[in-house]
Structure 1
């Protein structure tokens, strides 16, 4: 900053092409090295680049952290869980239809996820180059376009969290396409797909819109969402039973393959949330936490007698 002749405090910077790598306003504006050796004017960095502390737009060459992979895994789990919920709530208990749609849901997400990773830089590898996430603002750089001296607006918005923003959108688009393809094949194999495909056509756009607007918030809170959802869903699953006796709850959970699958899904989500929070930084401590995964289900089963509304006052 420099003091002008009339005493106003002004931000002075080289607004055009510069012969040296000079400072840029804002936290996301950077300069690109031009073929002639000069530096470009301050602006947004190209896709796959991010501004360094030197104000240079440098290529992103970091590896995804464990937390980043877990976030991508969470975004891939959402379509599967929504498919499972739709299959369980809307379809008749026809074993062929149920098993067929479960296989379709898993296949379409796995194939879409694998292809998305393979077409990303570097192409043909499951290794991904990333910029890393430093702050919540990295997800919303459009709100941080600087206004130097309130004379102009520099549009410096770019994917500062590359590739976490676009890769999820590409995955959701591919999963939606593969859903239509796999359900089309399943239809000719005699599997009823009408009701399940309608739900998918709704929730894929909703997931994409949620990621576009709330991606940064979801990135930081998804471990807690996972744990809370697994515990509440587990309690709801048991609460729907007509007979709340401890022995009956245990027998029904073990005899019905559907109940076994639902409980295992709850335990998996609970463990996934714990791993996402701890990131296995202290393996011995984290293993003890993972052993506690079945506790919410066991706590409900063994205390259901005391919380059954029909037995209040007895």
Structure 2
């Protein structure tokens, strides 16, 4: 135990801090250097202060990214296995119900996750302000005292950006087991054709992999997730159109507007692309100079750009059948 005049002279190493024990006396009483409690952060004076900052736009976009990742994986598995099972002629309503269930799972998981963080019961979440990559890995900076023993002061310095995605994945797993099982039970009772269960088990395997990836690379993902989303949206857009084979512009447009599945996938691509562009905007200093509504208008205008670019340039990848090339 230390009083403030003594505690002020001693600076705690690493991410260790002092906790206030008593404030009723003439001097505040502080603990010795130790890990800060969950939901608090050490300041420059080595005091553990409770995290009470409002979550900024980029931080919230990071949380949305972790909510979108399971949803996108669900959609990919549902779509891919429905294509493989075309010979069974699965009614489109059951594929749509799986998409709808995946969307509900993602939305409910995000809501439940936000509700369990301070302030509990509110969608508003407090956070700690951080600016450096090393703050994501405090276990690597435990101080070595007198070259004899390690003072373990590992805590969530970047609260709640490290633990929140784990909670979101846990709720995703719970919602998957409950909601998707209901969909399969209804399909088993109502549909004469067996609905493939492969998407269900594929996601069960994928969610733990996402958790491991976040545990190891969370700090890196935090800084590059807009680029990951941008690359994913562009790649999915290209693969989606390329999967339909060699078609000209008219055939592609006719295919898009006649099939609801293509319209849905096109909307998903646009949503991912818009989210990536807006996340990149939030990561820059431009947001402090430009009004929000102007940035929203710019992002909205860019949404169809990848699809339009692919459709307009598709003729470059489909040469005329009667073209000949000289052989030298």
Could you list the structure 1 runs, at least 4 aligned residues long, displaced by more than 6 angstroms after superposition.
Answer: none
Aligned residue for 1:60?
Answer: 51
Aligned to 1:208: 211
Q: Which residue of 1 aligns with 2:92?
A: 95
Q: Could you say which residue in structure 1 is the equivalent of 2:234?
A: 231
1:297 to 303, 307, 310: 307
Given that residues 81 and 196 in structure 2 are in contact (C-alpha distance below 8 angstroms), is that contact kept between their aligned partners in structure 1?
no
TM-score (norm 1): 0.89
TM alignment of 1:116-265, pairs within 5 A: 116-190=113-187, 192=195, 194-265=197-268
Q: Distance in 1 between matches of 2:320 and 2:22?
A: 79
Distance 1:298 1:212, change over 3 A: same
TM-score by length of 2: 0.85
What is the match of residue 11 of structure 1? none
1:274 Cα offset (Å): 0.9
Q: Is the 8 A contact 2:114 2:125 kept in 1?
A: yes
Q: Which residue of 2 aligns with 1:51?
A: 42
The secondary structure found in structure 1 opposite 2:150 is coil
Deviation per residue, 1:7-57 (Å, 9 max, x gap): xxxxxxxxxx43332333434111112238432221210101100111100
Query: What's the counterpart of residue 70 of structure 1?
Result: 61
Check conservation: 1:26, 1:144, Cα contact below 8 A: no
Relative to 1, partners in 2 of residues 1:40 and 1:242: Cα closer, same or farther, differing over 3 Å? same
Cα deviation 1:108-167 (Å, max 9, x = unaligned): 221222122112211111111111222111111111112244233211110001111112
Question: Is 278-287 or 79-88 further displaced after alignment?
Answer: 278-287
Alpha-carbon shift at residue 87 of structure 1 (Å): 0.5
Aligned to 2:192: none
Asked whether the 8 Å contact 2:226–2:280 carries over to 1, the reply is: yes
| Alignment partner, residue 73 of structure 2 | 82
Alignment gaps of 5+ in structure 2: 189-194
SS of equivalent residue, structure 1 residue 138 = helix
Range with greater deviation from structure 2 (77-86 or 133-142): 133-142
Note the C-alpha offset of 1:289: 4.6
- Tell me the SS of whatever aligns to 1:58: strand
Report whether the alignment pairs 1:272 with 2:275.
yes
- Cα deviation digits, residues 206-228 of structure 1 (max 9, x gap): 11111111111111101111111
Please give the root-mean-square deviation of Cα atoms over the aligned residues, in Å.
2.0
Contact 1:243 1:249 in 2 (8 A): no
Q: Report the Cα distance in structure 2 between the residues aligned to 1:255 and 1:301, rounded to whole angstroms.
A: 16
Aligned length: 298
